[in-house]
Amino acid sequence: MIVDYHMHTARCGHADGSVEDMVEAAIDKGLRQVGIADHAPMLYADVPMLAMSPDELPSYVDEVLQAKEKYRGRIEVRLGIEADYHAPTQGERVSMIELYPFDYVIGSVHVLGDWIFDNPADVGRYEDIDLDDFYVEYIHTVREMAESGFYNIVGHPDLVKKFDKRAAINLIPRYRELLEAVKRAGMCYEVNTAGLRWPAREIYPEPAFVHLAAEIGVPVTFGSDAHCPEDVARDFDQALALVRGAGYREVATFQGRIMSCVPLPEGQPPDEHGHDDQGGDE
């Protein structure tokens, strides 16, 4: 089996599609399990274009829980959320999320200091920084996220490459430290195909990270980071080939914040089987 555990809805202010639209796209792609993981309220900033506001969280949860019931027997729907890691607001974030029955929480670092570095509106700031220092600080912050013990999945592990601003230093020793912390925390990471749709033109994380993670024994799951129904499970043929090539035979799934690993499909992923209504959309 393969799952898509990372997708957004119109509620976050920069995506198209309701929860049901995303679930139906997943059914059309042939998935048997799907997870919605919209952007949690940021708490460190109030930008309606970047995430739902705190008062929208209860209705988000309700909508996903209703979809779980509605689609039972056709597809398993998981209640996820993509939450930032941001140390100064962490206590508030944890108490907010713990109020709801999430199946998993994706931990994503999108902000360093006061810079939301993956926001296209703020891309000019890359001109003012030392890229090597920036990568090191980012990887260190992702490690802190893992060590906080709150999250289940490392979101887009090398998001810093999104705009194709690359570090010159060897990142492997830092990835190793990070992955050892991820393993100790009992977490997995996601192979996220959205990187293919940004200037990086590469899946998150890079192949060397995936191979190292497989060697260390860190489980993996999958996310398209779809912000519209058309992108659900997009490029999962490439994601599956990468993961299989690194030696993985299982995908991590979650229910009630508990991980269980299930075998990956042997053949091509579902979106390559040529469903009549979706054929050739890539």
For Fe ion, the binding residues (CB under 5 A) are 82, 108, 225
Asked whether the beta carbons of 40 and 72 are under 8 A apart, the reply is no
In angstroms, the Cα distances linking 61 to 11, 64, 159 are 11, 5, 26
Task: Using alpha carbons only, give the angle 6, 10, 15 rounded to the nearest 5 degrees.
Answer: 65
Name the closest residue to Zn ion (Cβ): 225
Looking at beta carbons only, is 120 or 245 nearer to Zn ion? 120
Shortest distance, CB of residue 277 to Zn ion, whole angstroms?
26
CA distance 165 to 73: 45
Binds 103, which of Zn ion, Fe ion, none (CB < 5 to 8 A, cut-off by type)?
none
79: exposed, middle or buried (C-beta count within 10 Å: 0-12, 13-18, 19+)? Answer: buried
Looking at beta carbons only, is 103 or 225 nearer to Zn ion? 225
218: exposed, middle or buried (C-beta count within 10 Å: 0-12, 13-18, 19+)? Answer: buried
Interface with Zn ion (CB under 5 A): 225
Shortest distance, CB of residue 109 to Fe ion, whole angstroms?
9
The DSSP 8-state label assigned to residue 206 in this structure reads P
The DSSP 8-state label assigned to residue 42 in this structure reads -
Looking at beta carbons only, is 214 or 224 nearer to Fe ion? 224
CA distance 167 to 8: 29
Shortest distance, CB of residue 277 to Fe ion, whole angstroms?
25
CA distance 17 to 193: 19
Count Cβ atoms below 10 Å from residue 215 Cβ, excluding itself.
12
Looking at beta carbons only, is 122 or 130 nearer to Zn ion? 122
Shortest distance, CB of residue 125 to Zn ion, whole angstroms?
19
Shortest distance, CB of residue 220 to Fe ion, whole angstroms?
17
259 phi-psi bin (left φ>0, alpha ψ -120 to 50, beta other):
beta
End-to-end CA distance of the chain: 21
Shortest distance, CB of residue 247 to Fe ion, whole angstroms?
27
Looking at beta carbons only, is 116 or 167 nearer to Zn ion? 116
Looking at beta carbons only, is 82 or 231 nearer to Fe ion? 82
Shortest distance, CB of residue 39 to Zn ion, whole angstroms?
6
Binds 158, which of Fe ion, Zn ion, none (CB < 5 to 8 A, cut-off by type)?
none
Looking at beta carbons only, is 35 or 219 nearer to Fe ion? 35
Binds 90, which of Zn ion, Fe ion, none (CB < 5 to 8 A, cut-off by type)?
none
Which tokens belong to 151? 């999250």
